[in-house]
């Protein structure tokens, strides 16, 4: 997008980045993306005067950042409780009530407004994948003649389990953090 390379546009975006420095990273990045896309379109094929008009119509970077700040509200404690309960039930519910507990967690996850579609898919897939992969590995190990790889299989399974466990914890933490970020 060479259009946004205009020095005035560059300067505007730098000022906006500075003015929005105190906003949560997600909010700031989305704002910058939106404004950048806007300028790419409004200043394309514009002469100097056209670029100035486009920037004037946008409002000052400080006004734009202030509008974003006004939309940034701290999460209510009720929202936070819902998010934590969801992630907890998603991962531990199945141990309390097999299958149904997990399904409850998945339903809560998909009803949660603070997760993106990708995060919901990730959260839904995490536990089944964590169960299927080791199960498949174990079953395939039964098929391999025990004499051919007796020394390798033990450590491999162990490492595999460790990777799956770390992956699960990572998804767990990611979902909690994703819900906590302030998205506007």
- What does the binding site for another protein look like in residue numbers (CB under 8 A)? 1, 27, 30-31, 34-35, 37-38, 40-42, 44, 57-61, 63-64, 66-68, 70-71, 113-114, 183-184
CB of 30 to another protein, least distance (A): 5
Minimal distance, residue 10 CB to another protein, in Å: 16
Listing DSSP states for 4-61 in one string gives GGSHHHHHHHHHHHHHTTTS-HHHHHHHHHHHHHHHHHHTTT--HHHHHHHHHHH--H
Q: What does the block give as tokens for 134?
A: 């080791």
Length of the chain: 184
Q: How far apart are CA 75 and CA 83, in angstroms?
A: 11
> Smallest distance, Å, CB 93 to another protein?
25
Q: How many CB atoms lie within 10 A of CB 10?
A: 12
Q: Nearest approach, Cβ of 150 to another protein (angstroms)?
A: 54
Nearer to another protein, 47 or 57 (CB): 57
Between 42 and 141, CB nearer to another protein: 42
In the complex with another protein, which residue's Cβ is closer, 61 or 93? 61
> From residue 117, how far is each of 3, 78, 148, 178 by CA, in Å?
32, 22, 44, 12
Output 6 or 114, the one with its CB closest to another protein: 114
């Amino acid at each position: 997008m060479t259009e946004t390379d205009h020095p005035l546009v560059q300067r505007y975006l730098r000022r906006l980045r500075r003015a929005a420095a105190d906003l949560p990273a997600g909010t700031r990045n989305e704002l910058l993306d939106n404004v950048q896309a806007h300028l790419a379109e409004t200043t394309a094929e514009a002469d100097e005067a056209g670029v100035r008009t486009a920037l004037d119509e946008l409002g000052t970077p400080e006004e734009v950042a202030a509008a974003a700040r006004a939309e940034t509200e701290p999460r209510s404690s009720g929202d936070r409780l819902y998010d934590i309960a969801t992630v907890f039930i998603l991962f531990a519910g199945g141990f309390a009530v097999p299958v149904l507990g997990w399904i409850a967690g998945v339903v809560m996850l998909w009803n949660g407004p603070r997760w993106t579609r990708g995060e919901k898919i990730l959260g839904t897939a995490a536990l089944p994948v964590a169960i299927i992969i080791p199960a498949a590995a174990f079953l395939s190990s039964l098929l391999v003649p025990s004499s051919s790889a007796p020394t390798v299989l033990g450590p491999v399974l162990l490492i595999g389990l460790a990777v799956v466990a770390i992956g699960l914890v990572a998804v767990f933490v990611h979902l909690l953090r994703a819900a906590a970020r302030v998205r506007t």
